[in-house]
Structure 1
Amino acid sequence: MKVKIRNLGVDMEVKNKGTTLDVYKPDGKTRLGDLKISKSGLMWCNGKAQTGPKATWQEFIDWMNS
């Protein structure tokens, strides 16, 4: 996968607004969606959607550890 960071900062704490990762297929041309990351959790926005499924950090951690 090709993943791009929209806003790049150094030693930056994620705030309420968070940041967004643009996710593309390995060809770098086909956009799959966005992963929005905030201090409250994560949200996957499929394709060009602006909203999508959400997970709190604890839900995400539990899912990854299962």
Structure 2
Amino acid sequence: MTSPVRAPRVLEQYERAVTVLLDAGFAAADVVPLLIALGNLVLGTALEPAAPGDDVGADRADPGPAAG
């Protein structure tokens, strides 16, 4: 379940981000999906240290160059 953002300071930050992206040449139709993706990235990064165990690549047979 989600709820709309109503806090004035948060809305100001979103407005600033939209303005920056539009001024940088992003199409208006791409701005909201980009903000959503960025928000997901930031949230995932913040939550990852609290995740149970190291599930990233746990089921891979080849651990890659970092393993050795």
Same fold (TM over 0.5): no
The TM-score range, normalised by the shorter chain, is: under 0.3
TM-score (ref. length: structure 2): 0.24
The structure in which a higher percent of residues are helix is 2
The structure in which a higher percent of residues are strand is 1
Bigger-Rg structure (1/2): 2
TM-score (ref. length: structure 1): 0.24
